[in-house]
A = this chain, B = another copy of it.
């Protein structure tokens, strides 16, 4: 049994190989560059943890974890184009550095290579793994499309936003755990529970993310709060505030969204607090964390095996940075 940190270190070493041919460098160098930007590799490590919840880590789990990390990076490269994001982890995004056409192709070929790793899996349930992977991949694309759709409409309902977050963020955490669990020999019921654990954890994580952007301690988060507010980004907090505020307060909030006064962040935060959005978000997060932990509890393995995932949960949703 290993902690997240242990497995993250092991995965880093495993993943640090050439995933692409040398030529043409104009296609593959951008992918090597992007992978070199690093990241916490949360998703592949969760695959290993899903496996180790049930059994020793199988050789196939490393292949699936690699496929998942490549898939995740493919989505980041393409999302950065769609979002016109100049930076990722403080450095130039692929399309900024190499141009959009190459960034599209580099992402495409990264997805193909992810499928190459999946195709090397020898587990009898390999096809079921690919089925889960494909379903998740479709859902992640759907989530990204919904996210873009939501930018263009004035109002988004909470249940629509929740569904978008589920698709864009949660299902990948859920399915990486499930794929690992499947490789570890988990039956259907246990696979269901680990999937639901990941799904609820993912939503809690996103609520925390939205929360920290508004109410985080700048010294800990490492940036000024309110980036989402300045961008009029539809977040758990803004959607809830628009649903809760009435009368003059609602009018003020709508005016703030339509304009960009110098003290926009301060004013919006004041409305958030006055609407109780602050406490509501923490309660909602705790609800999803409880749901997640309930599903983890329901998994039929000795409780000592669950420790690493419980610790990861605490880390992901109680972080204040």
Residue ranges of A at the interface with B (Cβ–Cβ < 8 Å): 21, 23-24, 26-27, 74, 78, 81-82, 100-102, 104-105, 107-109, 111-113, 115-116, 119, 127, 130-131, 134, 137-138, 141-142, 144-146, 148-149
Residue pair B104, A82 in contact (C-beta under 8 Å)? yes
Assuming A115-B115, A116-B134, is B102 touching A78 (CB within 8 A)? no
> Which residues of chain B have C-beta atoms less than 8 A from A109's C-beta?
137-138, 141-142
Q: Given A141-B108, A146-B24, decide whether A101 and B130 contact each other with a Cβ distance below 8 A.
A: no
Give how many copies assemble into the complex: 2
Is A149 touching B104 in the complex (CB atoms < 8 A)? no
Specify which of B78, B102, B113, B142 is in contact with A24 (CB 8 Å cutoff): B142
Partner of A142, one of B27, B74, B113: B27
> Which residues from B are CB-within-8-Å of A112?
111, 134, 137-138, 141
Chain B residues with CB below 8 A from A105, complex form: 78, 82, 141, 144-145
Q: Can you report 5 residue pairs joining A to B where beta carbons are below 8 Å apart?
A: A82-B100, A104-B104, A111-B112, A112-B137, A119-B134
A137 to B105, CA, bound (A): 11
Give the Cβ gap from A72 to chain B, nearest Cβ, in Å: 13
* Complex-state Cα separation, A21 to B107, whole angstroms: 24
Determine the distance from Cα of A108 to Cα of B139 in the docked complex, in whole angstroms.
12
Which residues of chain B have C-beta atoms less than 8 A from A137's C-beta?
A: 109, 112
Cα of A142 to Cα of B105 in the assembled complex, Å: 8
- Minimal Cβ-Cβ distance residue in B for A134: B116
Q: Which residues of B contact A131 (CB under 8 A)?
A: 116, 119
Taking CB as reference atom, which chain B residue is nearest A148? B101
Contacts of A81 in B (CB 8 A): 100-101, 104
